């Protein structure tokens, strides 16, 4: 396959944003390795599961987002040799790079909870984390009139840490409007000691959950599932106890990790149990391989994995790559910015934005960020998708 100046692995939010920025800066000879013919705008999948957006609106052909002048190889990367500077592709060919951008995203480990892989997508079990299941979430929410609904959150790092609870609020608000909320027991299982990493937002979310009568199980995790019996095991890590819970609807979020081939590569951070790629938290450069950068869900950064974080990481990676290509030291710094649009009702949202220090970093500084707002819901539903397709993916924003 020859030698390439810049190879980008992954044509999702991160890979496309960086490639577009490099093209705008005049870099030629950029090669994108991406096997999928579809590009997804995943943040809307929560609203697909909540019946507020269509799945087709979250999908575009990959070819329509690959920047002009970027060479697209429609194959999977299966290995990286960082010493030899080669990527092995599915099918067995190799390509050689001068600079590498790692952006293949996160892996959903459906086999990480016994019984989950067999149950998801069947009977009354769904997940907004995969496009093939998200529309089914809404079908099941609409069908539910009474019984127990369980929403789970994995104990691993995950993309969009708020998504496991947002769908619980959308469902509860629907049931409230249908006047069946009183007949439905809602259990939200969260492995952390609080509902959210930043205490001020956690306090607001506690009130939201209480408003809907949601039972929140903190420090707890779904550790097994029996789809035939409609039963799951919740392990309480604080007390060390296990409880069997019957359900009539289950929204499950799988454990997540770096893709297996990344875990096994020399780029994986030995300090990351899930094998995420090592990167300096400010420059996003690999600590051992100076010609390798990582961003997006695959990078081992001490912040929440979101598309909003990618929006701030992409200019840093592109800028620092240009610095390194021109013999300069990296001059751009990422401060850990991430944002979680916490949908709390069918017409309300909290916009939680913060950095590595968990300091609020509001885009709209005049608005109290601890207040649920209709304007923010409208911003998520109608404002952000065009910003994504036309601003972020084209390297303009
Ligand atoms: P992705 O966008 O997932 O892209 C990874 C790409 O790599 C894919 O195109 C894939 O095909 C490709 N790839 C995989 N393996 C290989 C390989 N071996 N070789 C080459 N290419 C490969 N973020 C927000 O900011 N706000 C939200 O409200 C929000 N809500 C979310 C709700 C849900 C239900 C989900 C699932 C995600 C949500 N996110 C949200 C998170 C956001 O979608 C991700 O953080 C973002 O897409 C990360 O970008 P990425 O490029 O790292 O990964």
Domains of the chain, by residue range, sit at 3-106+258-336, 109-250
Q: Is 340 a catalytic residue?
A: yes
Q: How many helices (H) and strands (E) does the chain have?
A: 11, 21
Which DSSP symbol is given to 296? G
Annotated catalytic residue within 73, 208, 340, 343: 340
Instruction: Please tell me the predicted confidence (pLDDT) of residue 1.
Output: 55
| Second-level CATH architecture of 3-106+258-336 | 3-Layer(bba) Sandwich (3.50)
CATH of region 109-250, choose from 3.30.420.40, 3.50.50.60, 2.60.40.420, 3.40.50.2020? 3.50.50.60
Q: Is 137 a catalytic residue?
A: no
CA of 312 to the centre of ligand 1 (A): 15
Selection from 135, 47, 137 nearest residue 345 by Cα: 47
d(CA 165, CA 304): 15
**CA–centroid distance for 4 within its chain:** 29
Q: Which residues contact 207 (CB under 8 A, 6 or more apart)?
A: none
Instruction: Please tell me the predicted confidence (pLDDT) of residue 3.
Output: 83
- Is the beta carbon of 311 within 6 A of some atom in ligand 1? no
109-250 and 3-106+258-336 share a CATH fold: yes
- Is the beta carbon of 164 within 6 A of some atom in ligand 1? no
Instruction: Please tell me the predicted confidence (pLDDT) of residue 147.
Output: 98
Nearest CA to ligand 1 atom 26: 43
**CA–centroid distance for 69 within its chain:** 28
Instruction: Please tell me the predicted confidence (pLDDT) of residue 180.
Output: 98
Are the C-beta atoms of residues 209 and 216 closer than 8 Å to each other? yes
Classify 133 as helix, strand or coil: coil
- Mean pLDDT by runs of 10 across the 397 residues of the chain is 89 98 97 98 98 98 98 98 98 96 98 98 98 98 98 98 98 98 98 96 98 98 98 95 98 98 98 98 98 98 98 98 97 98 97 97 94 96 97 95
């Amino acid at each position: 396959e020859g030698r390439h100046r810049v190879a980008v692995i992954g044509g999702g939010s991160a890979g496309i944003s960086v490639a577009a920025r490099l093209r705008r800066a005049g870099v030629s000879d950029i090669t994108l390795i991406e096997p999928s013919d579809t590009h997804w705008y995943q943040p809307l999948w929560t609203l697909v599961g909540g019946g507020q957006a269509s799945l087709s609106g979250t999908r575009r052909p990959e070819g329509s987002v690959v920047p002009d002048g970027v060479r697209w190889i429609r194959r999977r990367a299966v290995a990286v040799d960082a010493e030899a500077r080669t990527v092995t592709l599915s099918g067995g060919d190799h390509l050689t790079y001068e600079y590498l951008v790692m952006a293949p995203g996160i892996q959903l480990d459906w086999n990480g909870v016994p019984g989950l892989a067999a149950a998801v997508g069947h009977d009354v079990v769904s997940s907004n984390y995969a496009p093939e299941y998200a529309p089914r979430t809404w079908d099941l929410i609409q069908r539910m009139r009474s019984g127990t609904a369980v929403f789970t959150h994995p104990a691993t790092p995950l993309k969009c840490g708020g998504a496991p609870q947002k769908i619980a609020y959308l469902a509860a608000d629907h049931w409230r409007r249908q006047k069946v909320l009183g007949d439905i027991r809602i259990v939200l299982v969260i492995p952390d000691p609080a509902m959210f990493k930043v205490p001020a937002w956690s306090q607001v979310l506690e009130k939201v959950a209480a408003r809907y009568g949601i039972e929140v199980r903190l420090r707890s995790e779904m550790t097994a599932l029996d789809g035939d019996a409609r039963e799951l095991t919740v392990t309480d890590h604080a007390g060390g106890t296990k409880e069997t819970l019957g359900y009539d609807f289950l929204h499950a979020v799988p454990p997540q990790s770096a893709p297996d081939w990344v875990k096994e590569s020399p780029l994986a951070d030995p300090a990351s149990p899930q094998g995420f790629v090592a990167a300096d938290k400010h420059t996003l450069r690999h600590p051992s391989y100076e010609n390798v950068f990582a961003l997006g869900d695959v990078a081992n950064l001490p912040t929440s994995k979101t598309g909003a974080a990618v929006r701030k990481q992409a200019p840093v990676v592109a800028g620092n790559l240009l610095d390194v290509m021109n013999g300069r030291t990296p001059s751009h710094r990422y401060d850990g910015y991430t944002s979680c649009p916490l949908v709390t009702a069918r017409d309300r949202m909290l916009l939680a934005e913060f950095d590595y220090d968990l300091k609020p970093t509001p885009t709209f500084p005049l608005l109290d960020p601890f207040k649920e707002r209709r304007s923010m819901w409208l911003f998520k539903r109608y404002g952000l998708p065009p910003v994504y397709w036309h601003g972020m993916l084209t390297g303009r924003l």
